[in-house]
C-alpha cells in the first residue's frame, strides 16, 4: 500500500498539450503511471502520445473514469482549472503551478473542501509512490520502494533527501510535496495522518521551512497522535526576518515562523531534527 496514488490511479493532465505538461506527462507514462488522457480547452479530439485530449474535465472524466488530475496550466488559469477538476468529481487534484495569487487559492481551497476533493499544492513537485506511479515532476531516479514516507514543502530539497536515503539503502512508501505557498490544499498534519494510517509506512521524514505555523501544528500532531518515528529538517535557519526566501510562503513575519521555534516544537514532540539534511538517513536507521 501507499498513500494518495498507486498503480491503479487513473490520471488526467490539465494542460497536456503545453510544453511543461506534455514533457512531464511523457515522463509519468514512462514511469508506469496510468495517464488516461488530458484536457486543453479548444484542443478536444486531438491525441497526445496515444491518449485522448478533451475540451473539458467533465467530458474527460465521463469518458475515462479518471480519479486524479495533475494541473500544469499557467498561474492565471490555474485556479479555474483546479475548480473545474473538483467540479468534475475527482478524488485528488495535484497542482504544480507557481505564482498563483493567494486570493485565488483561498477560494479554490474552500471550493475543493465543499466538493470533497483533496488538493495537493500548488507550487509543489507532486506525489510519487516509488515503483508504482508518479504524478508531478519528482525525478524517477531519486527514490526506490520502501517504508519511509516523505512529506515536504520543497522540490529539490526533497530530491536531495530522497536520493540520500536511496544511497543509504532506504526506500519510500510515498513522497508528497505539499508546496511552499502560504495557502495550500493539504497540510503537513493531513499527510502525517495518512502515513500514520498506512500499514506500508513505518517511518516518516518531514521537510519544512520558515514561514507560517504548519510545522508547529504538525509537531502537536506528532506529540499527541503519532506512533511512527519522525525525522525532520527545517530549512531557513540562516534566513533574515522579513525577507521572502523564494517560496511565497517562506518568510519570517512579525516574529512568527522562524526555524528555531519549529525545530524546538518538533524536538519537544519527540521528532529527531537534523541540522543537516544529509543526516536524515542516519536518523531513520
Partner 1 sequence: MKLHEYQSKFLFRDFGIPIPEGQVATTADEVQQIAAELGGVVVIKAQAHVGGRGKAGGVKVAKNVEEARAYAEQILGMDIKGLRVDKVLVDPGADIEREIYLAITNDRGAGRPLIMTSMDGGMDIEELNRERPDAITREHIDPILGLQGFQVTYIASAMGMPRALWRQFGSILRGLYRCYVESDAELAEINPLVITGGGDLLAVDGKVIIDENALFRQPALTAERDASDELESERQAREAGITYIKLDGQIGCMVNGAGLAMTTMDMTKLYGDANGIGPANFLDIGGGATPEQVATALRIILSDSNVKCVLFNIFGGITRCDEVANGILTAYNEVKPDVPMVIRLQGTNAPAGNRIISEAQIPNIMSAQTLTDAAKMAVAAVKEGA
Place of cell 517504508: 147
Compute the distance between CA of residue 180 and CA of residue 214 in angstroms, rounded to an integer: 11
Kindly name the residue from 153, 166, 247, 262 that is annotated as catalytic.
247
Contact between 116 and partner 1 by CB under 8 A: the answer reads no
Q: Least Å distance between CB 279 and partner 1?
A: 9
Whose grid coordinates read 542516519?
282
24 is a catalytic site residue:
no
DSSP string for 230-258? EEEEEE-TTPPTT---SSTT---BTTBS-
Pairing state between β 172-177 and 126-129: antiparallel
Number of Cβ within a 10 Å radius of residue 95? 31
Contact range with partner 1 by CB under 8 A, out of 50-58, 65-73, 88-96, 202-210: 202-210
Span of 44-52, 63-71, 128-136, 138-146 interacting with partner 1 by CB under 8 A: 138-146
> Which of 40, 129, 152, 172 forms a contact with partner 1 (CB under 8 A)?
152
Which one of the spans 32-40, 65-73, 247-255, 265-273 is the region binding partner 1 (CB under 8 A)? 247-255
**Dist. CA 277–CA 207, nearest whole Å:** 9
Number of Cβ atoms within 10 Å of the Cβ of 164: 17
Helix (H) or strand (E) holding 26: helix 19-31
Smallest distance, Å, CB 59 to partner 1?
25
Residues 100 and 119 sit within 8 Å (Cβ to Cβ): no
Tell me which residues in 15-54 interact with partner 1 (CB under 8 A): 27
Task: Convert residues 57-96 into a mask of x (bound to partner 1 by CB under 8 A) and - (unbound).
Answer: ------------------xx--------------------
Looking at the Cβ atoms of 66 and 134, the one nearer to partner 1 is 134
Task: Give yes or no for residue 212 binding partner 1 (CB under 8 A).
Answer: yes
Interatomic CA distance for residues 235 and 232, integer angstroms: 10
Stretch that binds partner 1, among 6-14, 46-54, 61-69, 250-258 (CB under 8 A): 250-258
The DSSP result for 124-171, as a single string, is S-EEEETTTEEEES--GGG--EEEEEEEES-SHHHHHHHHHHHHTT--
The residues of the shown chain that bind partner 1, judged by CB under 8 A, are 27, 75-76, 99-107, 109-111, 137-139, 141-142, 152-160, 163, 180, 182-183, 207, 209-210, 212-214, 217, 233, 235-240, 243-250, 254-255, 259, 275-278
Amino acid at each position: 500500500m501507499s498513500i494518495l496514488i498507486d498503480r491503479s490511479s487513473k490520471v488526467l493532465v490539465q494542460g497536456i498539450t503545453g510544453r511543461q505538461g506534455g514533457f512531464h506527462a511523457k515522463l509519468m507514462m514512462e514511469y508506469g503511471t496510468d495517464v488516461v488522457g488530458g484536457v486543453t480547452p479548444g484542443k478536444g479530439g486531438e491525441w497526445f502520445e496515444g491518449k485522448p485530449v478533451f475540451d473539458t474535465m467533465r467530458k474527460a472524466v465521463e469518458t475515462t473514469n479518471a480519479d486524479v488530475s495533475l494541473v500544469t496550466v499557467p498561474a492565471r488559469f490555474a485556479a479555474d482549472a483546479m475548480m473545474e477538476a473538483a467540479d468534475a468529481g475527482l478524488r485528488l487534484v495535484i497542482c504544480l503551478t507557481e505564482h498563483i495569487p493567494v486570493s485565488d487559492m483561498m477560494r479554490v481551497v474552500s471550493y475543493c473542501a465543499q466538493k470533497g476533493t483533496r488538493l495537493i499544492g500548488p507550487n509543489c513537485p507532486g506525489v510519487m509512490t516509488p515503483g508504482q506511479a508518479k504524478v508531478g515532476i519528482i525525478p524517477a531516479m531519486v527514490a526506490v520502494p520502501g517504508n519511509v514516507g516523505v512529506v515536504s514543502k520543497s522540490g529539490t530539497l526533497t530530491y536531495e533527501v530522497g536520493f540520500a536515503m536511496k544511497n543509504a539503502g532506504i526506500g519510500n512508501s510515498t513522497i508528497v510535496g505539499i508546496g511552499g505557498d502560504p495557502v495550500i490544499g493539504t497540510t503537513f498534519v493531513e499527510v502525517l495522518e495518512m502515513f500514520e494510517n498506512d500499514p506500508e509506512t513505518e517511518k516518516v521524514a518531514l521537510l519544512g521551512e520558515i514561514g507560517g505555523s504548519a510545522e508547529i501544528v504538525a509537531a502537536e500532531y506528532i506529540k499527541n497522535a503519532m506512533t511512527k518515528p519522525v525525522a525532520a529538517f527545517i530549512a531557513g535557519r540562516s534566513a533574515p526576518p522579513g525577507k521572502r526566501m523564494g517560496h511565497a510562503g517562506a518568510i519570517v513575519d512579525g516574529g512568527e515562523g522562524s526555524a528555531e521555534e519549529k525545530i524546538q516544537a518538533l524536538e519537544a514532540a519527540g521528532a529527531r531534527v537534523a541540522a543537516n539534511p544529509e543526516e536524515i538517513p542516519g536518523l531513520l536507521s
